[in-house]
Each structure stands twice: as C-alpha cells, then as structure tokens.
C-alpha cells in the first residue's frame, strides 16, 4: 500500500543500521483482486548478516471480527435498555391489577422468547474465545490491545444482566419455599461478603455471636448479598459497614449497618414495594424479594435511616426447633 511503504523502508533501514526498530508492526497491501488487506509483521535480524526474517499474519478478518464484536456489544446494550423500558412500561400497565401474578406469567413468556437468542450469543462468545485461545501469542496480545477480550467480557456481563432481570421477574409470583438447614451465620456472612466487591475505602466489621439456626442458606445468602451491595453503593466516598448477629430464646437477629448517605423518609415508605427503585438501572425487586424470602422463613425485616448518617437493616428469624 503506497502510504505504508516509507514506514516499512524506514524500519528496515534502522534495523540494518543496528538501531532500534519495532519488532512488530502493521501494514496494508493490495491483493490481486484489488482488495486492501491488513497484515501484522513480526521482523527479526538474522545474526551476523544484513538480512531479516519476517512472519506475516493477515489481520483483515480479525479486524472485521473486532468490528462485528463492537456492533454486537452496542446492539446488546440497546437490547438491555429496551428490555428495561419494556419492564417499566408493563409494570405501569399492571399497577392497578393483580400485577404480581400477571407479571410472573408475562415474564415466563418473555423469558421463553428471549433466552434462546441469549443462549446463541453465549455460545458464540464461547466459540470466539476458544478460537482466540488457539492463536499465536503475539496475535492474542494484539487482539487484547484492540479491546477484543474486553468487548467479549462486556457482552457476557450484559447477557448475565438480562438473564438476571428475566429470573427476577419470573420469581415475583412464585411462592418461596425455604429448604431449611442448620447453619452458622458467620460462615454465611463471610460467603456473602466474598460475593460482593467491597472497595478498599469501606471498612467492614463482622461481630458474630456464635449464632447457629435453621434456614435456607442459598436464599438467605441472596438477602445478605443484596443488603451488602446496597450498603456499599450508599458509601461512594467510603465509610463503615457493620454486620452483627445475636439471638434470644426465640429469635436470631442479623443487623447490617452502614454510614452512608441515608434514605429520605418518602423513599423509606416505599422501600420494600415491588418495582420501586431510585436507581437508574435495575428492576426494583431486590429488597422486595429479600422481604419475601425473610417472611417465607417466618421472619421480618425492618429499616431505620437518617439522611447523611446512614442506614440500618435488621432481620429477625424465629428459631426453628
């Protein structure tokens, strides 16, 4: 390609003169059909000679793949946004009806239609990753520098997010039936903390009273993860997160306290309502689902908050004999 010839000649001259020149670089050439191909060249000087050896890899198709991935990422983000808008619209329409049951049925239908294309996307990302893993290391590095791997990870995250929305919606009308097991709360709390990305500027304190009780560890972990995530998000500038367990003869208590922004009274009144959220992203089902899980255990959840000082959630679960 005419514009690339001076660069290539300059690199060759520098290398033959014993000066530093790029070991790998890209150039273009016109094939016999008149098409422009993009090539990655890896060049080395043969010791003791004035000759070079080069390895050439046609990057044209990989470039196109990268562009296709960027388009797929953009389309998936639009798809995710459209799904959120669709959920909000359907929620408004059903607000005055027996909405929970209706939403559960609608979500099942939507999930049936959407999960097939989502699975196709998941499989495609997997196959692309497998294909990339078999390429030479320099090419893999080049793809990483181009942002291909980051694009694939973003697509996977978006797919996971859409699947979570669908699952949350399907669960709205389903009865929750805990599978009770004897478990220590400290281990469950530590597991939950490991599932959340806690910034270094948030100080975490766990005070465990050696409490053991019967509950569904999977369901209760969902509750704890949701409350811990909310607490962390309420402290963007850092703060303290305190988790404490205690018990009486009849109940166990889990308290989650943060020193974050606090919750205004008008928001506090609607906090556990389904689809109520002050966040720009999400379905508003996290706290409602947490409340339903705790109530399915025969327990209750309460919240106290003061703007500018922080929020405390208290979970009470009756002790099962």
Tell me, yes or no, whether 191 and 314 share the same domain: yes
Residue 278 lies in a domain: yes
Tell me, yes or no, whether 185 and 290 share the same domain: yes
Please work out, in degrees rounded to the nearest 5, the angle formed at the alpha carbon of residue 16 by the alpha carbons of 14 and 19.
45
Tell me, yes or no, whether 297 and 218 share the same domain: yes
- Output the CA torsion sign for 252, 186, 314, 99: negative
Name the range with the highest mean pLDDT among 41-55, 173-187, 240-254.
240-254
Tell me, yes or no, whether 36 and 84 share the same domain: no
9 versus 298: the higher-pLDDT residue is: 298
- Give the residues across from 246 on adjacent strands: 253
- Residue in the block written with tokens 């239908």: 109
Name the range with the highest mean pLDDT among 110-114, 135-139, 315-319.
315-319
pLDDT, mean of residues 227-234? 94
Query: Given this model, what pLDDT does residue 229 score?
Result: 92
Spatial CA neighbour of 216 closest among 292, 149, 285: 292
Name the range with the highest mean pLDDT among 25-29, 83-87, 126-130, 304-308.
304-308
Query: Which residues does 131 contact at the CB level (< 8 Å), separation at least 6?
Result: none
CA 212 to chain centre: 32
Summary mean pLDDT of the chain: 84
Query: Which residues does 199 contact at the CB level (< 8 Å), separation at least 6?
Result: 232, 238
Tokens representing residue 21 in the block: 């020149």
CB-based contacts of 225-228 (< 8 A; 24+ apart in sequence) = 225/192, 225/195, 225/196, 226/286, 226/287, 226/289, 226/290, 227/256, 227/290, 227/313, 228/192, 228/193, 228/196, 228/198, 228/256
pLDDT in tens, 142-186: 888 888 888 888 888 888 877 777 776 667 667 788 999 999 999
CATH number of the domain where residue 189 is located: 3.30.565.10
pLDDT, mean of residues 69-74? 84
Tell me, yes or no, whether 87 and 40 share the same domain: no
Tell me, yes or no, whether 35 and 142 share the same domain: no
CA 113 to chain centre: 22
Query: Given this model, what pLDDT does residue 303 score?
Result: 94
Lowest-confidence pick of 59-63, 205-209, 253-257: 59-63
Cβ atoms of 225 and 190 within 8 Å: the answer is no
Q: What is the DSSP string of 216-275?
A: -HHHHHHHHHHHHHHHHHT-TT-EEEEEEEEE-SSEEEEEEEE-SS---HHHHTTTTSTT
Residue 176 lies in a domain: no
Tell me, yes or no, whether 224 and 251 share the same domain: yes
Q: Percentage of residues in the chain with pLDDT exceeding 70?
A: 88
Residue 76 lies in a domain: yes
pTM, rounded to two decimals = 0.55
pLDDT, mean of residues 107-117? 70
Tell me, yes or no, whether 188 and 313 share the same domain: yes
Tell me, yes or no, whether 84 and 40 share the same domain: no
Structural domain harbouring 296: 181-318
181 versus 46: the higher-pLDDT residue is: 181
Measured CA to CA, the distance from residue 321 to residue 317 in angstroms comes to: 12
Output the CA–CA distances (angstroms, integers) from residue 136 to 46, 58, 78, in the order listed.
Answer: 21, 13, 34
Measured CA to CA, the distance from residue 140 to residue 164 in angstroms comes to: 31
Query: Given this model, what pLDDT does residue 193 score?
Result: 94
Query: Which residues does 66 contact at the CB level (< 8 Å), separation at least 6?
Result: 143, 146, 147, 148, 151
- Which pairing describes strands 300-306 and 251-258: parallel, antiparallel, or unpaired? unpaired
pLDDT in tens, 216-229: 998 999 899 999 99
Tell whether the model's pLDDT for residue 262 goes beyond 90: yes
| Count of H-run helices and E-run strands, the chain | 9, 10
Domain count, the chain: 3
Query: Given this model, what pLDDT does residue 282 score?
Result: 63
Query: Given this model, what pLDDT does residue 41 score?
Result: 86
Tell me, yes or no, whether 217 and 312 share the same domain: yes
Tell me, yes or no, whether 41 and 109 share the same domain: no
SS3 134: coil
Please work out, in degrees rounded to the nearest 5, the angle formed at the alpha carbon of residue 60 by the alpha carbons of 54 and 63.
115
Query: Given this model, what pLDDT does residue 105 score?
Result: 66
Query: Given this model, what pLDDT does residue 96 score?
Result: 46
């Amino acid at each position: 390609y005419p514009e690339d010839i001076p660069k290539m000649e300059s690199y060759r001259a520098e290398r033959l003169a014993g000066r530093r020149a790029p070991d790998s670089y890209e150039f273009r050439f016109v094939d016999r059909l008149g098409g422009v191909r993009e090539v990655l060249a890896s060049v080395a000087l043969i010791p003791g000679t004035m000759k070079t050896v080069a390895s050439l890899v046609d990057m044209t198709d990989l470039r196109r793949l990268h562009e296709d991935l960027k388009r797929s990422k953009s389309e998936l983000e639009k798809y995710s946004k459209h799904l959120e808008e669709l959920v909000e619209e359907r929620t408004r329409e059903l607000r005055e009806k027996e909405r929970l049951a209706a939403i559960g049925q609608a979500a099942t239908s939507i999930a049936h239609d959407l999960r097939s294309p989502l699975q196709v996307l998941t499989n495609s990302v997997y196959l692309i990753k497998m294909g990339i893993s078999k390429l030479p290391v320099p090419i893999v590095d080049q793809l990483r520098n181009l942002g291909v791997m980051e694009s694939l990870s973003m697509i996977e995250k978006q797919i996971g997010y859409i699947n979570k929305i669908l699952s949350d919606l399907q669960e709205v009308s389903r009865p929750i039936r805990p599978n009770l097991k004897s478990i220590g709360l400290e281990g469950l709390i530590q597991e939950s903390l490991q599932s959340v990305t806690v910034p270094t500027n948030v100080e975490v304190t766990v005070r465990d009273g050696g409490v053991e009780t019967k509950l569904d560890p999977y369901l209760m972990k969902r509750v704890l993860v949701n409350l811990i995530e909310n607490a962390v998000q309420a402290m963007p500038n850092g703060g303290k997160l305190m988790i404490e367990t205690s018990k009486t003869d009849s109940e166990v208590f889990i308290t989650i306290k943060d020193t974050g922004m606090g919750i205004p009274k008008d928001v506090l009144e609607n906090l556990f309502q389904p689809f109520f959220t002050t966040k720009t992203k999400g379905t508003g089902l996290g706290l409602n689902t947490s409340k339903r899980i705790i109530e399915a255990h025969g327990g209750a959840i309460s919240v106290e908050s003061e703007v500018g000082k922080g929020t405390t959630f208290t979970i009470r679960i009756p002790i099962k004999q």
